[in-house]
Amino acid sequence: MAARNPHQLLDTGARAPEFRLPLVGGGEASLADLISHGPVLLTFFKVTCPICQLTFPFLERLHRAGTMPIYGVSQNDDEDSREFNREFGVTFPTLLDREEGGFRVSNAFGISSVPTMFLVERDGTIARVIEGWRKKEIEWLGAKVGAAPFRRGENVPEWKAG
């Protein structure tokens, strides 16, 4: 289980809960900060999750397009999150929603498995929710940001549960 959560996963059309979390490497950011210039993709994960390890390198490819900010929301500590980012080539910013804080933000979003992604519009409305690995959803994100997430010849599964 990704977080201790008795709540239901937020769905498309819901308002994303406001939050302020520390960033890996220092500083902090709020949801209002993140969406102030347009939509963002929030991707909740744990460093030990094999589906997160599959997903993040493809999200990095989308991040490199530079057309839509992507933020990881790690349920681990700063050190483990940094190591995950190094190992999987992640350069987009990572927020920390740690166990010591009761996974407050993960629970507010209704996370029960990772990875879970939320496309949040500038007005704070959730435009899309993606749970686990769905190749078609990553392709949709790629079309949205104008970048190809997959390379010719890559063996990419269609679906994997989070």
- Summarised one tens digit per residue, pLDDT across range 23-79 is 999 999 999 999 999 999 999 999 999 999 999 999 999 999 999 999 999 999 999
**CA-based R_g, the chain, Å:** 14
Q: To which CATH superfamily is domain 20-145 assigned? A: Glutaredoxin (3.40.30.10)
- What dihedral do alpha carbons 47, 94, 67, 10 form, nearest 10°? 80
Q: CB neighbours of 134 closer than 8 A, spacing ≥ 6?
A: 158, 159
Strand partners, 71: 42
| Predicted TM-score (pTM) of this structure | 0.94
SS3 160: strand
Q: Is 70 exposed, middle or buried (0-12, 13-18, 19+ CB in 10 A)?
A: buried
pLDDT the model gives residue 1:
43
**Nearest C-alpha neighbor of 58 from the set 113, 130, 139:** 139
SS3 117: strand
Average pLDDT of every residue of the chain? 95
Q: Is the pLDDT reported for residue 4 higher than 80?
A: no
